[in-house]
Amino acid sequence: MAMTYGGIQYYPISVVLFDEVPMELTEAKFGMKGTAAVMKLLSKIYKESGYYLLWGKEQCTLFTNKAGRELTEDEMQGIVDILVEKAFFDKETYEKYGILTSVEIQKVWLEATKRRKRDLASLPYMLVKTEEETKEYKSRKGEKDTGCMQNPQNSMQHVDNPPENADNSRQSIGEHSIGEESKGLPPLTPLGENGGGTTDISFYEIPGYAYNKQTHNLECLLLRLDQLCIIDPKEIKSILKLSNYGKLGGYVWKVISNARWSTVDSKGAYLISSLRKERNNQ
């Protein structure tokens, strides 16, 4: 069967999956063919609807037949019963709607499809409160709406190498000369007074042209780095230089907007590597 729009091609498996009670009970009662049936069932869920499967007598018959009839229909239903009873699948959703799903399955699917256009409010059988989780996460991080969104016309840029493919390893950054700082321009508003950040710019040599808000958004860039917890002065200094101090329309805004930061460990190194690759491709 071809993968539907809602499905995904790959899904992660926890290294302790087979040590969990539902899987151990399934294997103890049905052997390795029971374990194989669970994996085939998960693959069917992720491949077709993406995060749930309607399960009943007819579906059980079809699934058992397609699985090679290594199990009888009664055995397959017995496996599902164990998985439901031991909370591998959500019991309430199964008993009420005949649907096999779980919070963990839904989180995997949401993460895998986060770049797709979709209306989360209209999705059926959802157990994950995505909007509430987002608010809670921002609350924990102390993030605020800073008004630092870039004008789409300023952030559009041709990208041959998307941020997802940027090397995540640390890179040494070659220093290059910068323009002389204008003595007549006022200093940047310290983050923390109005913006809520903590970056101290006294460490950095900021050229005068970077304060021109018609061409640069230095203050917003520093604030975004602070929100991403990029606090290493050397990394910040390299990012400032590689981004030409937050020049409008620069590649740095593309990376910040499109990167899946929740999956990046060394955010500073990731951003530096992305900017270096873009510079080398020019």
- pLDDT level of residue 39 (50, 70, 90 thresholds): very high
Give the separation between CA 10 and CA 111, rounded to whole angstroms.
Answer: 12
The H or E element spanning position 18 is none
pLDDT on residue 122: 76
| Length of the chain, in residues | 282
Q: Please tell me whether the overall predicted TM-score, pTM, comes out greater than 0.85 for this model.
A: no
What percentage of the chain exceeds 90 in pLDDT?
35
The H or E element spanning position 100 is strand 99-100
- pLDDT level of residue 153 (50, 70, 90 thresholds): very low
Q: What is the mean pLDDT of residues 210-215?
A: 84
- Tell which residue, 2, 89, 107, has the closest CA to residue 38: 89
3-state secondary structure of 104: helix
Contacts of 8 (CB under 8 A, 6+ apart): 46, 47, 50, 109, 112, 113
For residue 183, pLDDT beyond 70:
no
pLDDT on residue 203: 60
pLDDT on residue 262: 83
| Inter-residue long-range contacts of 153-159, CB under 8 Å, 24+ positions, other chains counted | 153/249, 154/248, 154/249, 154/253, 155/249, 155/253, 155/254, 155/257, 156/249, 157/249, 157/250, 157/251, 157/254, 159/251, 159/254, 159/278
pLDDT tens per residue across span 225-266: 888 888 888 899 999 999 999 888 889 988 988 888 888 888
Q: What is the mean pLDDT of residues 59-80?
A: 91
Domain borders along the chain are 17-136, 152-281
pLDDT on residue 102: 94
Average per-residue pLDDT for the chain? 77
Highest mean pLDDT among 16-30, 105-119, 144-158, 178-192: 16-30
User: Dihedral sign, CA of 117, 120, 123, 125?
Assistant: positive
Q: Which of 39-48, 115-124, 178-187, 253-262 has the lowest mean pLDDT?
A: 178-187
Contacts of 206 (CB under 8 A, 6+ apart): 181, 188, 218, 240, 245
For residue 53, pLDDT beyond 90:
yes
- Tell which residue, 202, 201, 207, 203, has the closest CA to residue 185: 207
